[in-house]
Amino acid sequence: SSMAELRVCSLLVTGANRGIGLGLVQHFLKMPNPPQWIFAGCRDPKGQRAQELQNLASKHPNLIIVPLEVANPTSIKAAAARVEEHLGGSGLNLLINNAGIAKINLLENETLEDMTEIYTTNTVGPLLMGQAFLPLLKKAAQGNPASGLSCSKAAIVNMSSIGGSIACPFGWELMQVTSYRCSKAALNMLTRCQSLAYREHGIFCVALHPGWVQTDMGSSAGHTPPVTVDDSVKGMLNVLSSLSEKDTGTFLDWEGKVVAW
């Protein structure tokens, strides 16, 4: 099955200025039938770290950079209003909650502040995003005559991590990152809750492990991860295009394999 099967008119990616978020934006722009609207959320659209995103936006009129700090409810509401304005009456097909943070720490050094900051961005952010964009996702689902649930109709994709798997404590020797692991385990539960609550509205939900990817975050423990951004993104888009109603609320990796909770 080829990537072109994932046909969406509109999507929003958070944390889109680098790493996996930027990779997703680049791939959607390159599709044979690119989306009419790609909304790229990032904290500082005018800053140095968003330079590549700015360059893309200057070449592609369907790419809209949206200022968005997912730890800030006011910022989320403002972003939802901007997106709604651009969509002019149509819905949002795909919400990809990709923004995430981690701090390399041993368990003994974890603090209230770090745990709270990481949980706020990685878990509460996707919760609030789902709430704020629910009306637009519902609209997309209602406007699509296809039965069942799918990522081409209306979907929330939460970028999780095998680091959040309780059954499989991957990489503990390399990185304890307890606060990050806890935030991703909680994100997995949030995904399941969203899938249960939003199913009646025709909205599909899934948690994805992108692989251990060569990004700033992936490399932060001083090891070179095995997976390139390009391969991870291609894999994930391929997986998303193949998912159907039975897969809502699951936890899968970039190759489509089920990851243990």
CATH at residue 51: 3.40.50.720
pLDDT in tens, 25-61: 999 999 999 999 999 999 999 999 999 999 999 999 9
Question: What's the total number of domains in the chain?
Answer: 1
pLDDT number for residue 32: 92
Tell me how far apart the alpha carbons of residues 187 and 61 are, in angstroms, rounded to a whole number. 33
Asked if residue 5 belongs to a domain, the reply is no
Asked if residue 34 belongs to a domain, the reply is yes
pLDDT number for residue 218: 77
Identify the DSSP state of 13: E
Tell me how far apart the alpha carbons of residues 119 and 232 are, in angstroms, rounded to a whole number. 24
pLDDT number for residue 167: 97
79: left (phi over 0), alpha (psi -120 to 50) or beta: alpha
Asked if residue 164 belongs to a domain, the reply is yes
Tell me how far apart the alpha carbons of residues 29 and 257 are, in angstroms, rounded to a whole number. 26
Q: Which of 140, 244, 129 is nearest to 201 (CA)?
A: 140
pLDDT number for residue 4: 45
pLDDT number for residue 220: 74
pLDDT number for residue 224: 84
Indicate the pTM of the whole model: 0.97
Amino acid at the residue 57: A
Assess contact for 168 and 260: CB atoms under 8 A: yes
Q: Which of 80, 190, 54 is nearest to 132 (CA)?
A: 80
Identify the DSSP state of 242: H
Asked if residue 62 belongs to a domain, the reply is yes
Asked if residue 259 belongs to a domain, the reply is no
Q: In 82-110, which positions are buried (b, 16+ CB within 10 angstroms) versus exposed (e)?
A: bbbeebeebbbbbbbbbbbbbbebeeeeb
Which contiguous run of DSSP H or E holds residue 204? Answer: strand 204-209
Asked if residue 221 belongs to a domain, the reply is yes
Asked if residue 77 belongs to a domain, the reply is yes
pLDDT number for residue 5: 67
Contacts of 150 (CB under 8 A, 6+ apart): 204, 243, 244, 245
Kindly write down the DSSP assignment for every residue of 161-203, as one continuous string: -GGG-SS--TTTTT---HHHHHHHHHHHHHHHHHHHHHGGGT-
Q: Which domain holds residue 212?
A: 10-253
Asked if residue 2 belongs to a domain, the reply is no
CA distances from 227 to 72, 109, 181, 212 (A): 31, 29, 20, 6
Burial class (CB in 10 A: 0-12, 13-18, 19+), 141: buried
pLDDT in tens, 190-208: 999 999 999 999 999 999 9
Q: Low-confidence residues of the chain, pLDDT below 70?
A: 1-5
